[in-house]
Chains A and B, each alone.
Chain A
Amino acid sequence: DVKVTQSSRYLVKRTGEKVFLECVQDMDHENMFWYRQDPGLGLRLIYFSYDVKMKEKGDIPEGYSVSREKKERFSLILESASTNQTSMYLCASRISDRVEQFFGPGTRLTVL
């Protein structure tokens, strides 16, 4: 089974802090994704990566950056956290010739 893990299930940060969310997958998947999930809005794509050191903006990249130095790890960075970034963050991965994505358990981030 594919396993996607996220570094924290729950996180509380203060406005202005730099926040790192880590995602690791164990199935050698080329593609990795970061989403945020908000009630009534479904999942919205923040950034994705087709391969190591590659990244592309999704639909809502403002206020976020990413890093992919190793194939199995994809990090989401909030340079200066704001209250409107309070949300559930979901990481996903997929193998490049398949359509479905596999999700981690999510990180619920609260910014005070």
Chain B
Amino acid sequence: AQSVTQLGSHVSVSEGALVLLRCNYSSSVPPYLFWYVQYPNQGLQLLLKYTSAATLVKGINGFEAEFKKSETSFHLTKPSAHMSDAAEYFCAVSDIKRGKIIFGSGTRLSIRP
């Protein structure tokens, strides 16, 4: 069975500060991992995905995530937060055979001026 745990339901950072959103996964097969972002009153948008190629994955809007198998982690980072980054972020895991995605409970990111 696969599962995802997002550490911290709410993270607040100052504008210009480092953003770090934590995600740990559990999977009995090599996982595919995702980060999605949801802006207020909108659907989910894919930020980035890991599909067993490079372990450091770059996404849109300056975000990146590193797959660490030994730590079963896939943390999301951005060097310098912008006010427009305020949103809810979901980490997710899947395997290609089943095609279903398991989502974490989400982390709301707030940006302080």
Taking CB atoms and an 8 Å cut-off, the chain A residues in 26-43 that contact chain B are 31, 33, 35, 40-43
Q: Determine the distance from Cα of A41 to Cα of B6 in the docked complex, in whole angstroms.
A: 11
Interface pick from B14-22, B39-47, B60-68, B74-82: B39-47
Q: Is the CB of B42 within 8 A of A42?
A: no
* Count, chain A residues at interface, CB 8 A: 26
Known: A42-B90, A45-B100, A48-B100. A100 touches B43 (CB 8 A): no
Q: Is the CB of B45 within 8 A of A40?
A: no
B111 within 8 A of A: no
Q: Determine the distance from Cα of A43 to Cα of B96 in the docked complex, in whole angstroms.
A: 19
Nearest-neighbour CB distance to chain B for A43, whole angstroms, equals 4
Known: A99-B32, A99-B96, A100-B34. A90 touches B43 (CB 8 A): yes
* Count, chain B residues at interface, CB 8 A: 22
Nearest-neighbour CB distance to chain A for B53, whole angstroms, equals 12
Question: Closest residue of chain B to A101, judged by CB?
Answer: B101
Which residues of chain B come closer than 8 Å to A44, judged between CB atoms? 103
Which residues of chain A come closer than 8 Å to B103, judged between CB atoms? 35, 42-44
Which residues of chain B come closer than 8 Å to A45, judged between CB atoms? 100
Q: Is the CB of A43 within 8 A of B90?
A: yes
Task: Pick the contact of B105: A33, A42, A101, A105 (CB < 8 A).
Answer: A42
Q: Determine the distance from Cα of A105 to Cα of B41 in the docked complex, in whole angstroms.
A: 7
Which residues of chain A come closer than 8 Å to B34, judged between CB atoms? 99-100
Q: Is the CB of A31 within 8 A of B9?
A: no
Q: Is the CB of A41 within 8 A of B105?
A: yes
Nearest-neighbour CB distance to chain B for A18, whole angstroms, equals 25
Task: Pick the contact of A31: B36, B46, B99 (CB < 8 A).
Answer: B99
Q: Is the CB of A103 within 8 A of B51?
A: no
Q: Determine the distance from Cα of A47 to Cα of B89 in the docked complex, in whole angstroms.
A: 23
Q: Which residues of B line the A interface, CB within 8 A?
A: 9, 32, 34, 36, 41-46, 49, 51, 90, 94, 96, 99-101, 103-106
Q: Beyond A40-B106, A43-B90, A50-B99, list 4 extra A-B contacts (CB 8 Å).
A: A41-B105, A44-B103, A92-B44, A99-B32
